[in-house]
Amino acid sequence: MKASELAKILLENPDWDILMSIDPEGNGYHLLDGIGENVYREDRYECEIGYSKLTPKLASMGYSEEDVMEDGIPCYVLWP
């Protein structure tokens, strides 16, 4: 899904809360906590999410330049 598609859906009911399923079967839910600007790579078997740049906040949490994924595809990640 592209950001423009998500925005269109969300703007239909702008005052609704956003919940995140904690697994594909829908066994539990959490309120959306944040949106990250990340990058991803995927191969035939899995998708890997990474950071596109080292921000001061990430550095303060112990991340380093080694945690930056330079060859990923830009994306937003919705965090529960």
pLDDT of amino acid 5:
93
Q: Among residues 21, 61, 55, 23, which one has the least CA distance to residue 38?
A: 55
pLDDT of amino acid 61:
93
Q: How do the domains of the chain map onto residue ranges? A: 3-79
Q: Among residues 38, 25, 32, 39, which one has the least CA distance to residue 10?
A: 32
This prediction's pTM:
0.69
Residues 4-37 pLDDT 10s: 999 999 999 999 888 888 877 878 888 888 888 8
Provide the CB-side half-sphere exposure for 46 (13 A, CA): 2
Residues 30-60 pLDDT 10s: 888 888 888 999 888 888 888 888 999 889 9
What radius of gyration, in Å, describes the C-alpha atoms of the chain? 15
Give the distance, in angstroms, between the CA of residue 26 and the centroid of all CA atoms in the same chain.
18
